Amino acid sequence: MSSIKSKIKDKVSIDILAQGRIQENFVGRPFYIDYKQVKLMTCDAWKYSVKGIPQGAFLLAFYDGESNVEEALLLRALNPSILPTDNDNIRSMVAYYKDNMNIAGRAGVNGSKGNLDDFTRYEFSFSGLECRILGVFYKVPIKDEDDKIIGYKTEFGADVENFYSANNYKVYKGTDEVLKAIVNQRDKENAIIGSNSEFKIGKVRYSSSRRFQNLTSDVAVYVSPNDFLGKRTALFGMTRTGKSNTIKKIIEATVEISTSATKNLPDETTPNEGLFKVENNLAMFDDEGTPKYPVGQIIFDVNGEYANANMQDDGTAIFELYKDDVIRYSVIQKTGFKVMKTNFYNDILAGVEFIKTELQNDGAGFVKDFLSVDFTSLSTYSSQSEKIRHERKIAAYLCCLKKANFKVPSKFKVKFTGHKELNLLVNKEKAIDPSKGISLDEAISWFLAIWENYSTHKFFSDYKSKKLKEWADNDLKALLVLLSQKRKSGGARDNNGYLRFRPLVDYHTDTLEDKSFEENIVDNLRDGKIIIIDLSQGPSNTQSVYSEKISQKIFEDSMKRFIKTQPNNFIQFYFEEAHNLFPKKDDKDLSQIYNRIAKEGAKLNLGMTYATQEPSSISSNILKNTQNWFIAHLNNEDELKEIRKYYDFSDFTDSLVRFSATNDKGFVKMKTYTNPFVVPVQIDRFLANKESK
């Protein structure tokens, strides 16, 4: 596998103020300027000379008023602007059209004049252009230890400290190396474009149509993988617009920077590195910007496109390219995969969650009663009676699993409190005493006898008279209905009860391993492995269960290490079809695991990349904590309304709707953590790097 150091050869260090003012790139003169916008006058000849000014193009407005002031406003072309002379020109054009005269020809181009006189053609060629001010490039002195100026350097500010009269500026289009310096601008010192710590992700692309752009050389766009480590990254766009390809490029960049890690993560028995180093994110990188520890990556693969070979990858599936570092998990038994199965008898809460997820849309009354049962155990109980009732409830649930053909672990027994009189209901000759530990078959017989006699046996009526409450609470009754398949005590079978559990038998294992699959996943992530969770098969509603369960385990392990001042290596989460997993926009429960990763993940070195067609459906808590954005084609105003709220994406909302999902795959508007403004980018195909692996 090649490293970033061997792949990146075109490092660029350019002085924009010195090289951005080339006469052939001149596009116009401003006639209005304030802190936010510039309106300039341009003409057809100038636009043709620079091969067009597409919407979103980067321009530089250089100050020419004083020889000792070196600065240039960075502009983005937005929309046409009205010139004071436009009304007169429009009247003249309309009159010209009415005369049915030939108006062919472009002013100043190849000598073509048409039938217009030179003066009229000259007047008609001018137009206005409205631009957004993105910031300013300016010179600052470099001083030595004695405070003497020894040189100057160019810096960028994301606002305008001062502006002069509009007539003092000339505007040029950013091209070639100047444009490369602009689009790869960083909010950090000493950043070198294409350096060892950066990764080429694509090239500048302004528009869907590319007649002029095809005549110019490509301008590379780089990202720093460190922008994604421990950060939140969003990929928004309709299906088939290149979201998965972009994720693969991010994974590729992360793999390469991870392979340069300088040491292994110490385990919990190793003396800690000090609380300051754990909390200080900078301490997680060496002097060259490389993470100290290998980066773990986990992909929740809803559609199976990362875990399995498919036609669109053409041999570049993640698991194929990084086969030595990839571990695949599936919800069903498949060659080359580890199976994510839960011991429903051993991990009761996990098993219950699976079943409740499976049955959540079941409208049967007895199923709804089961869904309301609380299986959560307490570290302390308010009374001995409360503890006894909980133990009976768990035992009755385990009996339902046995009846539903969930294979019972060897020598498995249950233990709970019965009563001498009740223990004889099954067999008056030989009592079954559950307090001594009994098999599940014995427990089934015990509970069935209880429910058969519950409405008629004197013990239960006496208990209610004495205790002022029933011996079996509503939770236990709900479970006895499932176990007996009878809604009424002593009645006939009238439901299929425990049979509702059977679709989940394949997700159960009767083995008692030293570690669960979640714990093994965490261990491998700590070693810098790539974990792919194939959620493409099995019940669709179990996707959220596995995703939440695994994410919660990783978060808990990271928090435990943080509290113990043990360093956490970076772990990156990747969520496809996030709208099916994440909390909805109006969900106010901030305790959900995805919200916690978004809010608290930074201090735990947990990064999160998520893709969806529906940004408007994602919790605002997650959106507000997202630092990196990749936005492709969106098809309705609701989604655009959400996007307008963030950074300077409002400059692009109209074009995001006009994109073609078919012809513009990988064409995105990109904003990364250290880049101060949005850049329009054509993302490289992941396939293009196949030969370098």
d(CA 409, CA 392): 20
Q: Taking Cα atoms as reference points, which of 464, 222, 508, 158 lies closest to residue 358?
A: 508
Alpha carbon distance 349, 378 (integer Å): 12
pLDDT of residue 654: 79
SS3 594: helix
Q: Are strands 338-339 and 326-330 parallel, antiparallel or unpaired?
A: parallel
Whether pLDDT at 322 is above 60: yes
pLDDT in tens, 372-426: 999 988 777 888 999 999 999 999 999 999 999 999 998 899 999 999 999 999 9
- Within 10 angstroms of residue 535's Cβ, the number of other Cβ atoms is 28
CA distances for 29 relative to 47, 126, 202, angstroms: 13, 11, 32
What is the rounded CA–CA span in Å between residue 557 and residue 570?
13
Calculate mean pLDDT across residues 239-244: 82
Q: Is 279 exposed, middle or buried (0-12, 13-18, 19+ CB in 10 A)?
A: exposed
Q: Cα–Cα distance between 630 and 669 in angstroms, integer?
A: 6
Tokens of 445: 């017989």
- CA–CA separation, 512 vs 409, rounded Å? 8
- First-residue to last-residue Cα distance in the chain: 5
pLDDT band at 275 (very low <50, low <70, confident <90, very high): very low
Distances (CA, A) of 297 to 320, 328, 377, 523, 604: 15, 12, 33, 12, 14
Provide the 8-state DSSP code for 591. T
- Give tens-digit pLDDT for 157-201: 988 988 889 999 999 999 999 999 999 988 766 556 656 668 899
If you count them, how many residues does the chain have?
Answer: 693
Structure tokens at 254: 């992360």
- Percent of the chain at pLDDT > 90 equals 49
Range picked from 161-165, 266-270, 315-319 for highest mean pLDDT: 161-165
Structure tokens at 441: 């078959």
Closest CA to 316 of 260, 253, 252: 252
pLDDT exceeds 50 at position 1: no
Name the least confident of 71-85, 250-264, 480-494.
250-264
Phi-psi region of 165 (alpha: psi -120 to 50; beta: other; left: phi over 0): beta
Residues in Cβ contact with 179 at an 8 Å cutoff, skipping those fewer than 6 apart: 58, 204, 219
Q: Which residues contact 528 (CB under 8 A, 6 or more apart)?
A: 258, 261, 293, 294, 295, 296, 325, 569
Amino acid at the residue 493: R
Which position has the token pair 């003497």? 148
Which residue is listed with tokens 């000379």?
Answer: 49
Per-residue pLDDT, averaged over 464-487, amounts to: 95
The pLDDT score that the predictor gives to residue 691 is 44
- The angle subtended at Cα 236 by Cα 231 and Cα 241, nearest 5°, is 125
- Higher per-residue pLDDT: 42 or 98: 42
- Split at pLDDT 50, 70, 90, the class of 287 is low
Tokens of 288: 């060259």
Residue type, 555: F
Dist. CA 291–CA 482, nearest whole Å: 54
* Alpha-carbon span 400 to 391, nearest angstrom: 15
Tens digit of pLDDT for each residue in 651-676? Answer: 888 777 776 655 678 899 999 999 99
Predicted local confidence at residue 659, as pLDDT? 65
- DSSP category for residue 461: H
Full strand arrangement of the beta sheet holding 296-301: 220-223, 199-204, 679-683, 667-671, 628-631, 232-236, 606-612, 571-575, 296-301, 530-534, 326-330, 338-339
Residue 251 per-residue DSSP state:
H
Which of 8-22, 138-152, 679-693 has the largest mean confidence? 138-152
- Dihedral in degrees, nearest 10, Cα atoms 439, 440, 446, 451: 170
pLDDT of residue 507: 83
Kindly provide the residue ranges of all beta strands, DSSP E only, lying in 237-315, ordered along the sequence.
296-301
3-state DSSP percent of the chain in helix, strand and coil, to 5: 35, 20, 45
Per-residue model confidence (pLDDT) at position 460: 95
pLDDT, average across residues 34-42? 94
630 contacts 235 by C-beta, under 8 angstroms: yes
User: Lowest-pLDDT range, 104-113, 210-219, 248-257, 420-429?
Assistant: 104-113
The residue behind tokens 């609701």 is 638
Give pLDDT, residue 18.
87
Q: Is the pLDDT of residue 89 over 80?
A: no
